[in-house]
Amino acid sequence: MSINDKLSGDVQAKLDKLRAYIKSLGSLAVGFSGGVDSSLLMVVAHDVLGDKAIAVTCTAVFVPDRELREAHDFCAERGIRQLTCKVDPLSKENVRHNPPDRCYHCKNMIFSEIKRIAAENGIEYVAEGSNMDDLGDYRPGLRAVEELEITSPLRQAELTKDDIRQISRALGLPTWSKPSYACLASRFVYGEDITVEKLQMVDKAEEFLIERGFVNERVRIHGNLARIEVPAEEIDKLAATDMRKELTSRFKEIGFTYVTLDLQGYQMGSMNAVLDKSITGSGKEK
């Protein structure tokens, strides 16, 4: 069965549009995180442009090591050329102090570096992986994308998150069912300084949850308090006596003084609840 037989006519048309757009660019460096969106974009770009498509992955304290390993393995298994660069967002006060537009300043640093690497390697265009659903969210990072003239092929092709998962599944990509992850900085309440120590605390706490089967999860940090979000249907599992005792012990070992469970369940962008609606529009950041 060909991929055409696995997709609806509408989704196939969007995929064709994506291929045509990428082909028109001639060469492309994809800001590659290994997530659902950038993985599909990278695979299609590599299929269309061959060696004229490269993956550029920025390593930073905001990105868990497990995500970097998965991104490396994904490229290695498919013969995709991957370059890495190291950035230090915490060197910028307007990132470290975590204002509402933190993501703008961070993305500006990251994509400026990716543009430099692309130019050094004779690649004309740089792409990022946002999709149509991201336009309804509070995403200050998209302002940096626009200012730096980074292209957004998935949005050019009018692909939604559901479209991307469908195509990824049809192509046999392991990322088709991967949960949506966001950088660790999104776990901090606005105005609270982001530190390496606290980032490591969040990373260790979330890894604990993932290892115990809580895949869609967030550990939000409020000073020395951890606020855990899991899907509403998994709250009972998390609150079961044995799990609760093990979790509380591990989180305190990590460095949290208080451990709480958000009874509303996992909510994308829950940290944005404190922001004025004139800033966030209708939506969520992460």
Q: Give the contacts of 218 (CB within 8 A, at least 6 positions apart).
A: 187, 206, 228, 229, 266, 270
Q: Give the contacts of 50 (CB within 8 A, at least 6 positions apart).
A: none
Specify the pTM: 0.89
CATH 1.10.287 is held by the domain 184-280? no
pLDDT in tens, 199-230: 999 999 999 999 999 999 999 999 999 999 99
pLDDT at 135: 87
pLDDT in tens, 26-59: 999 999 999 999 999 999 999 999 999 999 999 9
pLDDT at 2: 62
Confidence category of residue 60, pLDDT binned at 50, 70, 90: very high
CB atoms within 10 A of CB 266: 18
How much is the average pLDDT of 96-114? 97
Residue 270 has pLDDT above 70, yes or no: no
Residue 244 has pLDDT above 60, yes or no: yes
User: What are the residues facing 82 on neighbouring strands?
Assistant: 55
**What does the domain layout of the chain look like in residue ranges?**
3-177, 184-280
Question: Distance (Å, rounded) from C-alpha 141 to C-alpha 150?
Answer: 11
pLDDT in tens, 133-177: 988 767 899 999 999 999 999 999 999 999 999 999 999 999 999
Confidence category of residue 180, pLDDT binned at 50, 70, 90: confident
How much is the average pLDDT of 251-263? 97
pLDDT at 285: 44
Residue 283 has pLDDT above 50, yes or no: no
Q: Give the contacts of 68 (CB within 8 A, at least 6 positions apart).
A: 34, 57, 59
Looking at domain 3-177, its CATH class is alpha beta
pLDDT above 90 covers a percentage of the chain that reads 86
Question: Distance (Å, rounded) from C-alpha 286 to C-alpha 137?
Answer: 8
**Residue that is written with structure tokens 């204002």 in the block:** 99
pLDDT in tens, 3-20: 766 899 999 999 999 999
Question: Distance (Å, rounded) from C-alpha 233 to C-alpha 50?
Answer: 44
Q: Which residues are catalytic?
A: 183
Among candidate residues 185, 184, 33, 31, the one with its CA nearest the CA of residue 100: 185
CB 245 within 8 A of CB 196: no
pLDDT at 284: 43
Confidence category of residue 280, pLDDT binned at 50, 70, 90: very low
Cα dihedral sign, 37-38-41-46: negative
